[in-house]
Amino acid sequence: MRLLLTFFLLLWLAPARDSAVSWLGPTTYEMGDLIHKEAATHEFRFRNISSDTLYIDNVRPSCGCTFPDWNKAPVPPDSTGSIRVEYDARDIGYFKKKLKVYFSNQRRAEVLWLEGWVVDID
C-alpha cells in the first residue's frame, strides 16, 4: 500500500512537460453578442517554441456547432501557425465551447475556448 501511495505521489509531483507552443493571444476568446444563425469566426495563432517541427494532428471541438480548420503543413521551430474556428450560432443564449488541439510532439492537448451570447433580433 505504501509503495502504491509513493508511486502516485511521485507521479503527481512530477513536473509537467512544457508546451511546444506559445499562443499569440488569449486561449479564451470572447465573441461577444452574435446574431442567431449568423456564423462567426476567430483565428487562434501560435508560435512553435520547441526545437522540433510540429504538425497539428487534430482539433476536437466539444460539439457539432464549432468547426475548426487548420493548415496541415509542418510548422518549423520559431514559426507561427493558426487554427480558424467557426461557430454556427444556432442556439440562442450563452455558450462556452472547448476545443482540444493535439500537436505531433506533445502528448497533452492544448485547450482553447470560445464564449459569448447568441441573441435573436426578431
What are the residues whose beta carbons fall under 8 Å from the beta carbon of 31, sequence distance 6 or more? 40, 42, 87, 114, 115, 116
pLDDT, mean of residues 73-82:
96
Number of compact structural domains in the chain: 1
Strand partners for 45: 82
Q: Looking at the domain assignment, is residue 103 inside a domain?
A: yes
State the DSSP code for 25: S
Q: Is the pLDDT of residue 99 over 70?
A: yes
State the pTM of this model: 0.82
Q: Looking at the domain assignment, is residue 90 inside a domain?
A: yes
Strand partners for 103: 56
Residues of the domain holding 65: 15-119
Q: What is the pLDDT of residue 15?
A: 42
Q: What is the pLDDT of residue 14?
A: 42
**Cell, residue 42:** 476567430
